[in-house]
């Protein structure tokens, strides 16, 4: 793998020149797929660090997963953020209604680039800004709707469950506050999700696919962790030890690793305040790929424990 140094010990750069990369997917051939939210495309970073466009995806591709048949599922926020180009960094800016084409879930054929819309609403409610997803290995997937904030208003959104074949979508958790990253415990019995602005990570017990155990308004056991300092949380992945590894947007951007008991195990600095996602790859799943969206590349580092093999 061709990399360059970030200047942080043990953290290198893989792939450059990306327009807000998100949703990393590590592939068996050593390449990594990402969506470029402001490039409006899916891109493959080859092992030598070069990039090739897999498919053009108009709107705001935000989350990505690979299915067993090789097709790709995309959370598309429809362009709910406006890029702010600072020269050395791109930031997600305010919502511009004229740019928004509607939130949706899409299937993309990586061989042809064909896009099939699977879902754009649930029970009569439009999807606003689908953000991240995780496949459950049972023919379905959970995904978050981050929603939209516009001037003096903000959406109350949900966690959803949907079938990969486009036949069913249902609301699993409502309401959530700007839900972002989402993942499953190694045994598939717990659903984790992060909220960006509250800097909280929640955990819910899964009763059956697409259904979680009810909680009362004053239950506290489903709050896994909340940051004691001002940070923002983005997407997440769960490692093989069951730790929730959540991308953290802060003065020292990186990944906060939280145990299943809700304790911070460690913080892995990435060198970019806009650190947005993480996935695991390599033959032993110990290689972590971390999207540094602000500076437009992917960081690579060796993880302390093996990652969790994702369902496809």
Tokens of residue 192, six digits: 């984790």
Question: How many structural domains is the chain composed of?
Answer: 1
Q: State yes or no: pLDDT of 2 exceeds 70.
A: no
The reply to whether 311 falls in a domain is no
pTM: predicted TM-score of the whole model, two decimal places: 0.97
Cα–Cα distances (Å) from 159 to 26, 130, 140, 210, 215, in that order, read 25, 10, 13, 10, 15
Q: State yes or no: pLDDT of 131 exceeds 70.
A: yes
Contact between 307 and 286 (Cβ < 8 Å): yes
Contact between 243 and 312 (Cβ < 8 Å): no
Beta carbons within 8 Å of 155's beta carbon, 6+ residues apart: 128, 129, 145, 147, 148, 149
| 239-276 residue pLDDT tens | 999 999 999 998 889 999 999 999 999 999 999 999 99
The reply to whether 85 falls in a domain is yes
Q: Range of 213's domain?
A: 4-302
pLDDT value, residue 35: 98
Report how far residue 90's alpha carbon sits from residue 98's, in angstroms, rounded to the nearest whole number.
20
Contact between 185 and 137 (Cβ < 8 Å): no
| 4-29 residue pLDDT tens | 767 787 899 999 999 999 999 999 99
How many Cβ atoms from other residues are within 10 Å of residue 267's Cβ? 12
Tokens of residue 222, six digits: 């489903």
Q: Are strands 200-208 and 232-238 parallel, antiparallel or unpaired?
A: unpaired
The reply to whether 309 falls in a domain is no
> What CATH code is carried by the domain that includes residue 101?
2.120.10.30
Closest listed residue to residue 21, CA positions, set 71, 61, 81: 61
Report how far apart the first and last C-alpha atoms of the chain are (Å, whole number).
24
DSSP category for residue 103: -
The reply to whether 307 falls in a domain is no
């Amino acid at each position: 793998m061709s990399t360059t140094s970030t200047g942080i010990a043990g953290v290198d750069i893989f792939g450059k020149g990306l327009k807000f990369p998100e949703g990393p997917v590590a592939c068996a051939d050593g390449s990594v797929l990402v969506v470029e939210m402001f490039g409006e495309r899916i891109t493959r970073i080859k092992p030598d660090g070069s990039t090739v466009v897999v498919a053009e995806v108009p709107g705001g591709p935000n989350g990505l997963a690979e299915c067993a048949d090789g097709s790709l599922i995309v959370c598309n926020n429809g362009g709910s953020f406006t890029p702010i180009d600072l020269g050395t960094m791109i930031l997600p800016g305010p919502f511009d209604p004229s740019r928004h084409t509607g939130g949706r879930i899409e299937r993309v054929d990586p061989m042809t680039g064909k896009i099939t819309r699977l879902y754009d609403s649930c029970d009569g409610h439009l999807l606003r800004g689908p953000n991240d997803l995780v496949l459950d290995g049972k023919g379905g997937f959970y995904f978050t709707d981050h929603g939209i904030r516009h001037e003096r208003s903000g959406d109350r959104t949900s966690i959803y469950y949907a079938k990969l074949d486009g036949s069913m979508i249902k609301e699993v958790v409502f309401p959530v506050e700007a839900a972002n990253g989402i993942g499953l415990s190694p045994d598939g019995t717990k659903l984790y999700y992060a909220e960006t602005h509250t800097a909280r990570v929640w955990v819910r017990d899964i009763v059956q696919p697409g259904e979680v155990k009810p909680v009362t308004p004053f239950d506290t056991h489903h709050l896994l962790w909340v940051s004691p300092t001002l940070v923002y949380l983005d997407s997440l992945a769960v490692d093989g030890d069951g730790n929730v590894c959540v991308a953290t947007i802060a003065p020292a951007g990186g990944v906060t690793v939280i145990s299943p008991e809700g304790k911070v195990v460690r913080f892995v600095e990435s060198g970019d305040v806009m650190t947005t996602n993480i996935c695991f790859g390599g033959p032993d799943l110990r290689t972590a790929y971390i999207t540094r969206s602000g500076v437009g590349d992917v960081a690579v580092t060796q993880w302390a424990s093996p990652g969790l093999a994702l369902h496809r």
